[in-house]
A and B are shown apart, each in its own frame.
Chain A
Amino acid sequence: MVVTHSAARGTGSLPAPPPKKHHSARVRREAWVFLALALPNLLLIAFFTYRPLLVNMYYSTLDWTLGSTDATVVGLGNYLEFFTSGDAGSVLGTTAVFTLATVGGSMILGLAVAVALNQKIPGRTVARSAVFAPYVLSGVGVGMVWLFIFDPVYGVLSWVLRGVGLASPQWINDPNLSLLMVIIVYVWKNLGYCAIVYLAGLQSMPQDVLEAAALDGAGPIRRFFLVVFPLLSPTTFFLLITSLLSSLQAFDIIKIMTPTGNGTGTLIFEAYLQAFGAYNRAGYSAAISVVLFVLLLVMTGLQLRFVERKVHYA
């Protein structure tokens, strides 16, 4: 049966077929330009980011001693061991405490510093530079300097405490204090970043809204919590994601200040210790890295799904 064009149109009940796509030479040309520009970058990302990720997932299924030329396939054995050996509880607990404290500390103090630096005070340009400077310093250098500050025998802090008749706490030897010590250093290093991003948010805030609130009789504290802070929510959201990812991957200062990870065994440090630090269990370490990857993925997804709903865009 041949359905003529006029017959089909004459039924009146059938929708009109979509117009056939015509790929002009221009569109094809643009596609090739896109390909030429994007492909080299995609290849680099694939080779240096996704290939190691896939290879790491493969390694996580092996019982492999680092440096050894042979390995045994154990499937999900490494994951099973991590979650059943008791390591998972302490490592995930330490990771949670460290992450919450460093993200929360950096953001709260960063916001306070940003509010202070947003005032018209003399020397604020210098103060802004000084606040941001620790963020760009090498983590290794920062760790070395703070190690000297915290040293209970010849550290600066110990000297100050002795001056007022107090003994220095065992910052490095006591596992609870060593976690607090690295948290302090990370917050000090990262709060400048949060402060500068918050400062940018404060400076781009619509002044008419603030003036309207002031005219309505809202004092500075009410204005901050009911107007300024909600309007900063896109900035807070951005900082929450970036700081969280950064904290979960924090390594350098922990390694320098607490080389055995006693009290500071976060997920990433445990992955390091298992493969390179002591045990040479490359497969087990790869499994811990995959757990960290999944955790990062889930947390970022949850934030995008739920936290973004609370964000107010001006």
Chain B
Amino acid sequence: MSRTLNRRNFFAVTGLGLGTAALAACGGPSTAGTAVTSAGTDWSKVTPAAKITFMSSHPGKSADIEAALIKDFESANPGIKVDLVTGGANYEEVAQKFQTAQAGNNVPDVVVASDVWWFRYAIADTVVPMDDLLKAVGDKTAGFNATLFGDYNYTDKHWAVPYARSTPLFYYNKDHFKAAGLPDRAPTTWDEFATWAPKIQAANASKPGYQHAYQYPALAGYAGWTLQNVLWGQGGGWSKEWDLTANSAPSVKAMTWVQDTIVKDGWAGVSSKDAVSDMTAGAISATVSSTGDLVGTLKAAQTANMNIGVGFLPGGSVSASPVCPTGGAGLVIAAKTSPERQLAAATFVSFMTNAANTAKFSAATGYMPVRTDADMSAVLATTPQIQVALDQLKVTRSQDYGRVFLPGADLEMANAAAKIMNEKADVATTLGALQDKLDGIYNKTVKPKLKS
């Protein structure tokens, strides 16, 4: 029997064939519980690859210094070329690219991973532990700042190394403080600043475009990070290890105080985009921002003929110290590559974070030097304000698990903060809803995947 081709037959056969092919080629994750691992590799028998890729968001406008350090690396290691790839404008965009790259076979070898991303990579097995690799390339990790390196410790392994690490700093307009008759320093506690704020507001209100004595950082820019300072100062926090405490009495008290500074007292506002830009525009007198903004802010202030001072984050009524969270980004090495590439990546990571290069990176950006033996004398000669950040580094505290280890927690915290700070929502109810959200995230997406 012979059948002839007509339009209907053609579409039927083609559709069936393509549909089958499409479903057959679904790809994606395995539902059989397999995972990529490089455990047990004898690194002494591995030869480093000739070329690797470094994906970065160039934190702190570091594209130039990263390119310069790569050039130095290639001179020191002529057998390894490094391809610098811009993965986006911020940590989140880099994370998107790294995670979507997992679906293919061309993942970047070294990736910038912020405080909220490395842990997700670790529990998803998309990155490898660093300890054996760093040992294989002769890196004495003892030189790392213990707190910063310790941040990446999970299951007794380090899953990243500190790179563009920062802490929040208190930035203030010296001229505005002087006009209010205040000392040229940051307040030691938020209670002290609450007594200063009305004076600052009154002394500067007539200046064109002036808005507030204090500006909370933009909520889209990691509100959960900077608000830890206020929460800790009042004895609260987002969590105590895996015990979520977002709606504990001290946390509610702290966020009520935050709401009062905006709604009741009226001396604080919330930045829409970038609080340090608000400051260099002369609209505000003080804010909290990352040390990674330090060099850029000082340059902008110089251009605007403005005197900017920096100081420790203020303490609270319950705890004066430590109330400053660590932050910023580290470097991770992808799991879905060959051991050769991973070894070359480890050589590169070790070079980028060695004592000399972390000092250069710090000078260019304002980020913290991540090695205790970094010689910062040249940096301090040109930017003495970095000394404040270095001193504060000694009294920092690792962040709450609830913020950094729960996927989406930062966004939920930002949205809850927006309700409290912008919509005057009831603090206890809002934090209760946040607690429920965080609890759901923990139980559904983290707890089942925790490694023993």
Contacts and interface: CB of A to CB of B under 8 A. Distances in A.
A binds B: yes
Given A46-B22, A67-B98, A281-B445, A73 B415 contact: no
Contacts of B415: 260, 262
A277 B239 CA distance: 23
A299 interface: no
B100 A276 contact: yes
A64 B414 contact: no
A66 B411 contact: no
B281 A154 contact: yes
Interface stretch (A51-59, A108-116, A213-221, A240-248): A51-59
A138 interface: no
A39 B23 CA distance: 19
A142 interface: no
Nearest to A176: B423
Interface stretch (B151-159, B181-189, B268-276, B358-366): B268-276
Given A55-B27, A173-B272, A65 B22 contact: no
B18 interface: yes
Contact of A151 (B34, B124, B273, B414): B273
A301 B281 CA distance: 52
Nearest to A23: B4
B46 to A, nearest CB: 22
A87 B10 CA distance: 43
B126 interface: yes
Contacts of A62: 28-29, 31
Interface residues of B, number: 60
B272 A278 contact: no
A43 interface: yes
Contacts of A50: 18-19, 22
A58 B23 contact: yes
A133 interface: no
Nearest to A177: B422
A153 B14 contact: no
B31 A70 contact: yes
A69 B25 contact: no
Interface string B86-103: 000000100010111010
A73 B31 contact: yes
A4 B414 CA distance: 88
A139 B411 CA distance: 24
A82 interface: no
B38 to A, nearest CB: 13
B76 interface: no
Interface string A151-191: 11110000000100000001111110000000000000000
A51 B25 contact: yes
Contacts of B407: 65, 278-281
B35 A153 contact: no
Interface in B248-281: 270-273, 277-278, 281
A157 B242 CA distance: 45
Contacts of B411: 260, 273, 277-279
A67 B211 contact: no
B102 A152 contact: no
B33 A70 contact: yes
A215 to B, nearest CB: 51
A47 B17 CA distance: 12
A259 B25 CA distance: 34
A69 B125 contact: yes
B34 A69 contact: yes
Contacts of A71: 28-31
B209 A69 contact: no
A50 to B, nearest CB: 6
Contact of B99 (A58, A174, A276): A276
B418 A55 contact: no
Contacts of A295: none
Contact of B126 (A31, A54, A68, A174): A68
B405 to A, nearest CB: 13
A69 B102 contact: yes
A212 B63 CA distance: 69
Interface of A: 23, 28, 31, 34-35, 39, 42-43, 46-47, 50-51, 54-55, 58-59, 62, 64-73, 147, 151-154, 162, 170-175, 258-260, 262, 273, 276-281
Interface of B: 4-7, 10, 14, 18-19, 21-23, 25-36, 92, 96, 98-100, 102, 120-121, 124-126, 209, 211, 219-220, 270-273, 277-278, 281, 283-284, 407-408, 410-411, 414-415, 418, 421-423, 441, 445, 449
23 contacts: A34-B7, A34-B10, A50-B19, A55-B27, A58-B26, A62-B31, A65-B120, A65-B445, A69-B125, A70-B29, A70-B32, A153-B209, A153-B272, A172-B273, A173-B272, A258-B220, A260-B219, A276-B99, A276-B100, A278-B408, A278-B411, A280-B99, A280-B445
Given A28-B4, A43-B18, A277-B411, 16 more contacts: A46-B18, A46-B22, A55-B26, A58-B28, A67-B100, A67-B126, A68-B124, A153-B281, A172-B272, A174-B423, A259-B220, A262-B220, A276-B99, A278-B92, A278-B407, A279-B408
